[in-house]
Structure 1
Amino acid sequence: MSDNPVLTIAVPIYNMERWLEKNLETYRDKKLYNRLEVICVNNASVDSSKSIVTKFCLETPEIFHLIDREIDDYGAAINDAISFASGTYFRIVDSDDWVDTNELIKQVDKLEACEVDAVLTDYQLVNMRTGAMQPVYAGDKGIEYYRTYTTLEAPQKTLPSIHTTTYRTALLKENRFFMQNGIFYTDEEYVVLPFLHVKTILYFPYDIYRYQVANPQQSMSPMNRAKLYLHREKVLRRLISEYYIAQRNNVKPQAIAYCKARINLGVGDHFTTLYIYIKERKKGRMCAKQWKTFLQSEAPEFWVYVRRKVRALYLLNIFHISLPQYDKLKAQLLRLKWFIAFFKAS
């Protein structure tokens, strides 16, 4: 067996003193000593985050390591962690989330004998305000646990996220994967681009990740999605560019299909942000028109997929349908099969 850790977990940190100790404590188990490497990347925090990490590094050097950066940049933090990683496998846990220690131990045990490119596990949504938890299980979507998949049909059903996805570290390094610097939403790059190189996938029924939601400060909140719409657009432009490069390089069709499906969802979701989430409706229409022009010119197949949904969103924008009204309307219309194609991406 290799002397290297089995798994590296990257924990990007910026001013997370409220949650950080809870996060880090969930890795500190003697069964994980020298088998788990937790790389804490401090992004110029001005609170006590660095002190908290330093304490864990001093008390449990068998697990914890600190990279101290001078700027706040999520993508660059993950890039540094990948470069530093010595574990056979690699995953990300955001610093305001945490893991179930016993379930993580089960994953590490299994990874010791694992050779697949990507491993996917289960998680739970945790409402930050109420503490209510909602499980998200791949088995509920028809996935067969412990089976090695050699196509990407299964990920198209489960739509991997950072909360579920573990890669073979060498796959990330050999293909020079990186996340863009200076913008949000680059986790979308993490769950799409490496799959262009993934050949084997394994699902485990381990309920590991605890993902906090209902936080208005999160980048995925409606307020921040409206504010940071250009960040999401930059990510989608990169995904589209990499998709066409992969086509020219004759990447296997299953990987192309997975990438296309994820881009289709992202493109449609972005129109929802522009038409519904941006409060200044005229500005939203202007931004949507620019995004539409780009797609028609540079990525027409993705425009074709979303154009009917865009017509509906345009009308909702014109009639000043609010976000709560939109959510209610979407829930009603999703009961009708004819409307699923228009609204499922948002």
Structure 2
Amino acid sequence: MSSKLITFCVPSYNSQDYLYHALDSLIPGGEEIEVLIIDDGSKDNTLAIAKDYERRYPNIFKAVHQENKGHGGAINTAISLATGTYFKVLDSDDWVEEEGLKRLLDFIRANKEADLILMPYKYRRSFENKNGRLISYNFFIKPNQIVGWNGIKRFDASHNFTLHSVVYRLGTLKESGIILPEHCFYEDNYLIYAPLPFVKKLVYLDTPLYQYLLGRDGQSMQTSNLIKRNENLMRVAELAFNTLDLKSIKKSNNRLYYLMRHQLVMMVTSPLMYTSFKEKSVSKKEKAGFINALKKDNPKQWKMLRFHPHVFWPAFNNWVGKASSAFMLWVIRKFGAIN
């Protein structure tokens, strides 16, 4: 059995200006945690900072340097090196709250049955401002009880599992055989989605852990970057679409099916929505190519999703598609995590 309760993976690329904040937030976890700082070919002082933490806290931090492979490549490396019982990704510009970290470690120390641990998180506008917006899952699952999929309720349209909310058992990730695409943004959606059928038991700890920083220039979740990198959204959505046949999951586990369908709908909707804001001829070509690929890959699964309103309306390449996409974008800006 591993002596480390959890491995935190910190993918880091040119992160010298904020990496220290993420790493400092993990120090209270002490020697029961493992922190793998994956320097993804940075051109600044990121690696030097990582090595300094490894020097000062050799039983907690490990600096790992690799040629640039992107966020997904860094996570792949961490999964292969991790020794903790559980695995959590912490992006280098975010941080964890000490109370949530203590709660997580107390739970793992006492009980290692859950394959998936779900925790609330906050959107924060700065490191100093503590009045972030809390994303809770109390509506979806009773807190502090280990349950199977029959113990969950159906998501509403505005919620989904995110990188910030999930902690997977390392063995569950490895059993799923997940390998994330390299040099691709938004691949964390696949990290959340693909291992779900391998989860037998889950638990919700109702203490916020992850603190997600909004407003930093260049973030992947800026609207302009989501539009510019729309091909990445399509790539991840198509990968998820082809990985699992939801019809077979529906036969064996109806609750899990509805959760995974919800997650997949969100992944398919995003590229349809963001490409609506491109020039009309470009939008038409991208939407047609994406939809035709899904139809070809799994026509029955596409038929299952195509009339879902989140997919149906943005798929139009006219004012209907643009208007519905604009409305959905407004909702996400008001209640979600984009700038």
Give the structure 2 partner of residue 42 of structure 1. 39
Give the structure 1 partner of residue 137 of structure 2. 138
CA shift digits 1:225-265 (9 cap, x unpaired): 11111111111111111122883897644333322221112
Give the structure 2 partner of residue 167 of structure 1. 168
Pair 191,41 (structure 1): closer, same or farther in 2 beyond 3 Å: same
Asked whether the equivalents of residues 125 and 210 of structure 1 are also in contact (C-alpha less than 8 Å), the reply is: yes
Give the structure 1 partner of residue 16 of structure 2. 17
Asked whether the equivalents of residues 11 and 39 of structure 2 are also in contact (C-alpha less than 8 Å), the reply is: yes
Q: CA deviation at 1:161?
A: 0.9
CA shift digits 1:191-217 (9 cap, x unpaired): 111111111110001211110123341
Structure 1 residue 268 corresponds to structure 2 residue 269: yes
Distance 1:50 1:8 in 2: 19
Distance 1:155 1:183 in 2: 32
Q: TM-score, normalised by structure 2?
A: 0.86
Asked whether the equivalents of residues 296 and 303 of structure 1 are also in contact (C-alpha less than 8 Å), the reply is: no
Distance 2:217 2:60 in 1: 32
Give the counterpart letter for 2:170 in structure 1. T
Give the structure 2 partner of residue 127 of structure 1. 125
Structure 2 matches for 1:61-210, cutoff 5 A? 61-114=58-111, 115-128=113-126, 131=129, 133-139=132-138, 141-151=139-149, 154=152, 156-157=154-155, 158-210=159-211
Asked whether the equivalents of residues 239 and 263 of structure 1 are also in contact (C-alpha less than 8 Å), the reply is: yes
Structure 1 residue 300 corresponds to structure 2 residue 298: no
Distance 1:275 1:48 in 2: 39
Aligned-pair identity (%): 21
Asked whether the equivalents of residues 114 and 201 of structure 2 are also in contact (C-alpha less than 8 Å), the reply is: yes
CA shift digits 1:274-294 (9 cap, x unpaired): 112x2x232112211222333
Give the counterpart letter for 1:314 in structure 2. N
CA shift digits 1:71-119 (9 cap, x unpaired): 1411111011011111111111000000112320221111112211000
Number of residue pairs matched?
A: 323
Give the counterpart letter for 2:318 in structure 1. Y
Asked whether the equivalents of residues 21 and 52 of structure 1 are also in contact (C-alpha less than 8 Å), the reply is: yes
Pair 178,184 (structure 1): closer, same or farther in 2 beyond 3 Å: same
Pair 199,129 (structure 1): closer, same or farther in 2 beyond 3 Å: closer
Asked whether the equivalents of residues 11 and 41 of structure 1 are also in contact (C-alpha less than 8 Å), the reply is: yes
Give the structure 1 partner of residue 319 of structure 2. 315
Q: CA deviation at 1:149?
A: 2.0
Asked whether the equivalents of residues 216 and 223 of structure 1 are also in contact (C-alpha less than 8 Å), the reply is: no
Q: CA deviation at 1:175?
A: 2.4
Distance 1:123 1:103 in 2: 9
Deviates more, 1:216-225 or 1:165-174: 216-225
Q: TM-score, normalised by structure 1?
A: 0.84
